[in-house]
């Protein structure tokens, strides 16, 4: 535990006035406690290191008193991080405070984040405490915590539904007791941007010692206004924002870190303030979170969604080919995405098709392009999104939707303790059959290995996703695979009521595309040449 002499000096007025917004990331606390987003200790440490590399100022690593595992995760993260302040959450209770202090002992920069509910609704129905009791508990806790860590942050839970006069009173006392950051959360996502701006303007006028602390905003997305409310708070003088990667969090989630950061960057002339986030790491950090939690980001998610820098409309594509600024207000490279994607679908035009074919090495004459475009439209009107392997086939006069040469005759899989096995029998259009079996980490891994062995085609899986297409016991699963082979990425889809079968169909569709587009004889493990 830190002695009084080791405490960090109180936040200076100059530091408060600095034109920088501090990013307080709570992905591992508020975000991780949401249903479906739990992470084990190893995953939390990976995420914490990525967040430090991203440049977050404060990382809320967890709630140490919640469980031994949470305590252990906070302690490991505190030991590992070099530059980012590591924060532990604590209720205004002695046991919570002491637990947080112990978990943070190894931190180079430590913060205890104290909270207590202040609104009439919470005081009466959640705490059963009076204003005076809440006030006394908060101040006593701040005085205890300030001797045990470098910084103390105090949060008035449900602040936006608390009487303004009482909030100003308890915040004024918190500053006097040693808090260096005051957090006024919109806990249930109730406020509007205009109300948030007025709310923080009021606090900055009425809290005694307001010029000695940093005000913080923590907004939830119940009405879809978390990011807008956060930006309004910044405009009103808030200099710390609490947010999460991909906006994960309780109920509808928290304010999205990547959206806040890029709004400040893209609209810099308007806001006149920045963060220390390395925005080129945003996409990679988002992808890491989806990998660790297994929860994908919706395609239309701002900044990091699959469609954020993708254009299908022919009108938009034509504009993009003329000048990127016609339909993009930021560069994909600024957030860590390699390039803009002109998605080829039913709304795409000839210009985008020609440009993509040229990129792939095909330069058809106008008459040939007319024919390719007509066949392209037929496929696209089926609701398909066409990928590079489809365009290669079209340019060669082939049918991208052709099936074969391989088809599944038999498929069996079984799971064992710690492993799984699968066997497949495949038939080739040239008349022979191949049977193979394999062991894997799970049934999906095993069936992929068996198909690789049976067809003699090595696949480096880069993405695997299964979505339910309907509900009920006979629901169909849609498996989507991406795999690398011969320095190219290939895509495959499969649909079945059985997830393993859907995966096998998706894998086989990739193998079939590779074989149809490979102008050499295919040799199989048994020495049979197709």
For residue range 475-517, what is the model confidence (pLDDT) as tens digits?
678 888 989 998 888 888 888 888 899 899 999 989 998 888 7
244-253 pLDDT per residue, tens: 999 999 999 9
Q: What is d(CA 444, CA 502) in angstroms, rounded to the nearest whole number?
A: 10
State how many domains the chain has. Answer: 3
Q: What domain range includes position 418?
A: 406-516
- List the alpha helices (DSSP H) in 386-455: 388-395, 443-455
pLDDT beyond 70 at 528: no
Q: Which of 364, 395, 426 is the last residue of a domain?
A: 395
The answer as to whether 4 is a domain residue is: no
The answer as to whether 1 is a domain residue is: no
The answer as to whether 299 is a domain residue is: no
Q: Are residues 351 and 459 in the same domain?
A: no
Q: Are residues 231 and 378 in the same domain?
A: no
The model's pTM: 0.77
The answer as to whether 521 is a domain residue is: no
Q: Are residues 241 and 346 in the same domain?
A: no
Q: Are residues 270 and 323 in the same domain?
A: no
Rg (CA), the chain: 28
Q: Are residues 203 and 348 in the same domain?
A: no
Q: Are residues 390 and 252 in the same domain?
A: no
Q: Are residues 419 and 359 in the same domain?
A: no
**Dihedral angle sign, alpha carbons of residues 270, 272, 275, 277:** positive
The answer as to whether 12 is a domain residue is: no
Which range (30-39, 56-65, 205-214, 486-495) has the least confidence? 486-495
Interhelix angle 350-359/388-395, nearest 10 degrees: 90
The answer as to whether 34 is a domain residue is: yes
Q: Are residues 491 and 352 in the same domain?
A: no
Q: What is d(CA 483, CA 494) in angstroms, rounded to the nearest whole number?
A: 14
Q: Which of 368, 395, 422 is the last residue of a domain?
A: 395
β-strands 406-416, 58-62 pairing: unpaired
Q: Are residues 319 and 215 in the same domain?
A: no
89-109 pLDDT per residue, tens: 999 999 999 999 999 999 999
The answer as to whether 69 is a domain residue is: yes
Q: Are residues 122 and 66 in the same domain?
A: yes
383-435 pLDDT per residue, tens: 666 777 778 778 878 777 667 799 999 999 998 777 899 999 999 988 899 99
Q: Are residues 346 and 248 in the same domain?
A: no
The answer as to whether 160 is a domain residue is: yes
Nearest residue to 200 (alpha-carbon basis) of 221, 179, 219? 219
327-358 pLDDT per residue, tens: 888 999 999 988 887 777 888 888 888 888 88
Is residue 271 classed exposed, middle or buried when 0-12, 13-18 and 19+ CB atoms within 10 A define those classes?
Answer: middle
Q: Are residues 209 and 229 in the same domain?
A: yes
129 with 156: CB under 8 angstroms?
no
């Amino acid at each position: 535990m830190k002695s009084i002499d080791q405490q960090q000096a109180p936040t200076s007025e100059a530091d408060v006035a600095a034109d920088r917004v501090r990013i307080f990331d709570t992905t591992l606390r508020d975000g991780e406690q949401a249903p479906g987003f739990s992470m084990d200790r190893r995953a939390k440490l990976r995420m914490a290191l990525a967040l430090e590399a991203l440049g977050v100022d404060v990382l809320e690593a967890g709630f140490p008193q919640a469980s031994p595992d949470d305590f252990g995760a906070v302690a490991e993260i505190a030991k590992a991080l070099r530059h980012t302040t590591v924060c532990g959450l604590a209720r205004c209770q002695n046991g919570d405070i002491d637990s947080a202090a112990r978990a943070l002992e190894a931190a180079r920069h430590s913060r205890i984040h104290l909270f207590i509910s202040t609104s009439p609704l919470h005081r009466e129905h959640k705490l059963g405490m009076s204003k005076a009791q809440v006030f006394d508990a908060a101040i006593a806790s701040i005085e205890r915590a300030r001797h045990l860590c470098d910084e103390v942050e105090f949060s008035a839970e449900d602040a936006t539904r608390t009487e303004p006069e009482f909030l100003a009173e308890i915040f004024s006392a918190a500053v006097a007791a040693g808090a260096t950051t005051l957090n006024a959360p919109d806990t249930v996502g109730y406020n509007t941007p205009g109300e948030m701006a007025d709310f923080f303007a009021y606090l900055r006028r009425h809290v005694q010692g307001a010029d000695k602390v940093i005000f913080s905003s923590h907004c939830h997305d119940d009405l879809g206004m978390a990011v807008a409310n956060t930006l309004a708070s910044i405009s009103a003088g808030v200099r710390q924002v609490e947010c999460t990667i991909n906006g994960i969090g309780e109920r509808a989630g928290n304010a999205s870190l990547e959206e806040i950061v890029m709004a400040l960057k893209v609209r810099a002339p308007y806001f006149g303030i920045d963060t220390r986030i390395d925005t080129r790491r945003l996409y990679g950090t988002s992808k890491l979170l989806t990998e660790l939690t297994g929860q994908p980001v919706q395609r239309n998610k701002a900044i990091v969604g699959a469609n954020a820098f993708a254009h299908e409309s022919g009108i938009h594509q034509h504009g993009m080919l003329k000048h990127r600024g016609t339909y993009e207000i930021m560069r994909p490279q600024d957030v860590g995405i390699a390039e803009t994607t002109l998605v080829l679908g039913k709304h795409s035009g000839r210009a985008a098709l020609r440009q993509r074919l040229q990129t792939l090495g095909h330069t058809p004459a106008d008459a040939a392009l007319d024919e390719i475009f007509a066949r392209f439209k037929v496929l696209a009107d089926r609701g398909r999104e066409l990928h590079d392997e489809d365009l290669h086939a079209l340019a060669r006069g082939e049918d991208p939707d052709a099936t074969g040469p391989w088809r599944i005759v038999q498929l069996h899989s079984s799971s064992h303790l710690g492993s799984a096995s699968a066997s497949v029998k495949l038939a080739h259009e040239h008349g022979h059959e191949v049977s193979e079996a394999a062991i894997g980490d799970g049934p999906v891994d095993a069936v992929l290995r068996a198909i690789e062995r049976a067809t003699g085609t090595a696949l480096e899986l880069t993405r695997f996703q299964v979505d339910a297409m309907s509900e009920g016991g006979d629901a169909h699963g849609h498996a989507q695979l991406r795999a690398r082979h011969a320095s190219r990425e290939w895509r495959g889809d499969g649909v079945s009521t059985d997830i393993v079968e859907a995966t096998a169909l998706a894998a086989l569709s990739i193998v079939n595309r590779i074989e149809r587009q490979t102008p050499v004889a295919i040799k199989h493990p048994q020495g049979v040449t197709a």
